[in-house]
């Protein structure tokens, strides 16, 4: 199995936070006025037109996902499959007028590719990182979300400014041999990068004041800075930064190569959802902290 998964939020204590989120009492939720201000990066040209292919021949449309990729796919308090991907799939099916033919089935991550190839599903929504090898064998929708890189800084010793330029001459931690380390050195060559062996050591160094800032996955940093584990020590800083070269194409729907018409249909639906605001509504449902703002 050669698939890679886009970084997930498997953080200590996250399952509790997600349960509260599903129950509607998430302590990480931003105030209403802040939540309304969240704007997802525009991934579709507002003047673009994507035709809806003829889908009359579709008898059943099964989306494959997993249960271990919160907040995108997980089992909620009632034992039901839930998450960003699950709600997005339902909206895609509704937009394509295929609700009665749509199903969502969970398998393990290593089983996704084989299940799709064997015809046990027609599409995959599970955070698979798009690679050149996969593009040879599968078709993909346009990305519907790109996960940004962000800085985080300590509240006790904030930089004298609100851009990365204020970090010049300061120690900036990053996970060694990661895409974010390569991105930091390419985007910000004047910053003093300090590598750590893993994410836990990286965050501990910021919390303990051993570095002045860290650079990493914006989703993970957003939940960490807003969660109990950070104890309010730190906040997001500057950004967001997106880069297809370093961070990949983003989240997409994967289908069989011969089903490119289905990928086009998904693109048609995603364009509509981005225009009518429903894509943002789903984002706000599962991301109570803003990945793209302060």
- Pick from 247, 255, 246, 174: which is nearest to 216 by CA? 174
**Looking at domain 14-146+249-286, does it have CATH number 3.40.50.2300?**
no
pLDDT at 16: 31
pLDDT in tens, 40-49: 666 777 678 8
- Residues 287, 281: Cα–Cα separation, whole Å: 10
pLDDT at 52: 84
Please tell me the pTM assigned to this model. Answer: 0.84
Q: Which CATH architecture has domain 149-246?
A: 3-Layer(aba) Sandwich (3.40)
At 184 the three-state DSSP class reads helix
- Pick from 32, 28, 1, 23: which is nearest to 78 by CA? 23
pLDDT at 24: 36
| Within this chain, domains 14-146+249-286 and 149-246 share the same CATH topology | yes
- Residues 130, 143: Cα–Cα separation, whole Å: 10
Tell me the CA distances in angstroms from 207 to 8, 13, 71, 231, 235, one per residue in order: 22, 17, 25, 9, 11
Q: Is the dihedral of CA 192, 193, 196, 198 positive or negative?
A: positive
- Domain locations in the chain as residue ranges: 14-146+249-286, 149-246
Is 5 a residue whose pLDDT tops 90? no
Between 290 and 21, where is the model more confident?
A: 290
Tokens standing for 115? 């299940």
**What phi, psi does 251 have (nearest 5°)?**
-80, 130
pLDDT in tens, 169-208: 899 999 999 999 999 999 999 999 999 999 999 999 999 9
Kindly write down the DSSP assignment for every residue of 107-172, as one continuous string. --GGGHHHHHHTTS-SEE-S-BPP-HHHHHHEEEPPPSB-PPEEEEEESSS--SSSSGGGGTTSEE
Window from 11-25, 65-79, 106-120 with minimum mean pLDDT: 11-25
- Residues 244, 179: Cα–Cα separation, whole Å: 11
Structural Rg of the chain based on CA atoms: 20
Mean pLDDT, residues 221-248: 95
């Amino acid at each position: 199995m050669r698939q890679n998964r886009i970084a997930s939020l498997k953080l200590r204590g996250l399952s509790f936070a997600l349960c509260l989120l599903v129950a509607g009492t998430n302590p990480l939720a931003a105030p209403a006025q802040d939540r309304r201000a969240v704007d997802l990066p525009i991934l579709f040209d507002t003047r673009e037109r994507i035709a809806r292919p003829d889908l009359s021949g579709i008898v059943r449309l099964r989306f494959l996902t997993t249960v271990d990729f919160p907040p995108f796919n997980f089992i909620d308090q009632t034992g039901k499959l839930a998450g960003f991907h699950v709600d997005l799939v339902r909206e895609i099916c509704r937009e394509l007028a295929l609700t009665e033919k749509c199903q969502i089935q969970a398998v393990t991550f290593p089983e996704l590719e084989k299940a799709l190839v064997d015809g046990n599903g027609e599409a995959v929504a599970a955070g698979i990182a798009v690679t050149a090898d996969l593009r040879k064998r599968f078709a993909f929708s346009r990305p519907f979300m790109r996960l940004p890189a962000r800085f985080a800084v300590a509240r006790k010793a904030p930089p004298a400014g609100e851009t990365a330029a204020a970090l010049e001459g300061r120690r900036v931690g990053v996970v060694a041999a990661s895409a974010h380390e390569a991105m930091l050195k390419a985007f910000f060559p004047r910053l003093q990068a300090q590598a750590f062996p893993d994410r836990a050591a990286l965050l501990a160094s910021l919390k303990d004041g051993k570095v002045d800032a860290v650079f990493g996955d914006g989703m993970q940093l957003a939940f960490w800075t807003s969660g109990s584990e950070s104890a309010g020590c730190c906040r997001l800083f500057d950004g967001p930064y997106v880069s297809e070269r370093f961070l990949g194409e983003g989240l997409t729907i994967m289908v069989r190569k011969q089903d490119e018409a289905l990928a086009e249909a998904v693109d048609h639906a995603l364009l509509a959802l981005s225009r009518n605001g429903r894509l943002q509504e789903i984002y706000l449902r599962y991301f109570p902290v803003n990945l793209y703002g302060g």
